[in-house]
Amino acid sequence: MSSHPSPVRTAPGDVLIREATEDDRAAMRDVITAAYAPYAAVLPAAVYSRYLADLLDFDRHAGHGPLLLTELAGRVVGCGAFYRDIGTQGMGWPAGWAGGRGLAVHPDARGTGVARALLVECERRARLICAPVFGVHTATFMSDAVLLYERFGFRRAPEFDFDLAAHLGLPVRPIPVVAYRRDLAPAPH
């Protein structure tokens, strides 16, 4: 399998999904910064800055799987890290499941199918490596993400919830992070 498979064109919405290159990182940084900006008002400043820095640590994430990029009409509007083994995130997931980290869509592109296309591509990749489950973490205040996962057929997996503040080693109020999972059927041959 090539390290850079051909880009995947989704249905008529002209969403293009491909593996990101080093040259894409500035655009990815812009998408993640814009997508997560509303949470600066919800989270304590120390938590938000550490959380954002973690999401933007592309070198670390790329060590566990490809960074994916979505384009709509030639513009980078979404991105995320696909983890071949989500257990390597260090957030309590079991080994052998695939997962996503920092899945983000620019606010200007919400409602265009970009997030759904990104999830479909992540799940396609998970099936190709025979992962039985695709998992993601989110927070209850990220209501759009919660709705997306639930509409997409994800189920809550509370045994993998954790406290973001404690995970980041910060002595502030607990910030619950909730886990969702989607059981996968094997990829057709």
- Dihedral angle of Cα 86, 8, 142, 54, to the nearest 10 degrees: 50
pLDDT in tens, the chain (189 residues): 334 444 544 444 688 999 999 999 999 999 999 999 999 999 999 999 999 999 999 999 999 999 999 999 889 999 999 999 999 998 999 999 999 999 999 999 998 999 999 999 999 999 999 999 999 999 989 999 999 999 999 999 999 999 999 999 999 999 999 999 999 976 665
Q: Cite the DSSP H helix spans in the chain.
A: 25-36, 45-55, 58-62, 114-128, 143-151, 164-167
- Among candidate residues 69, 96, 74, the one with its CA nearest the CA of residue 84: 96
> How far is residue 111 CA from its own chain's centroid?
17
